[in-house]
Amino acid sequence: MKHTALTLLLMLMASTAQAACYADYKAKRDDPLKLHYGVIELSDDACDDHETAHRQISDRLAGNGWSLLKVQSIFDDTGLEERKESAGKFFLRF
């Protein structure tokens, strides 16, 4: 009985757990012009919806005075390390 309950609990946890997702993007700030490339963590609802991801990133950047230029890609945590150096101080900043 304990074994069955534990198995069910583990199955439930596995089905509700989702892997984190991230996006890399390009942004700008005017007067004077500044550009940056960054990596940002997305909420679960933005992982499979490019439009939601774009809106979410744009809103977060705008709150810090940046304008989103382009969402490069959406990826899981396996793509984080290869982008870390390129993103520099904008790696998971927003």
Q: What does pLDDT average to in each consecutive run of 10 residues of the chain (94 residues)?
A: 49 52 97 96 94 97 97 95 96 96
pLDDT attached to residue 60: 97
- CA distances from residue 55 to 33, 49, 50 in whole angstroms, order as listed: 22, 10, 9
The radius of gyration computed from the CA coordinates of the chain, to the nearest angstrom, equals 17
| 8 A C-beta contact, residue 72 and residue 27 | no
pLDDT at 19: 73
Q: What is the pLDDT of residue 4?
A: 52
User: CB 27: neighbour CB atoms within 10 A?
Assistant: 23
Tell me the whole-structure pTM to 2 decimals: 0.76
Asked if residues 26 and 69 have their Cβ atoms less than 8 Å apart, the reply is yes
Cβ atoms 38, 27 nearer than 8 A:
yes
Q: Which two tokens stand for residue 20?
A: 């984190």
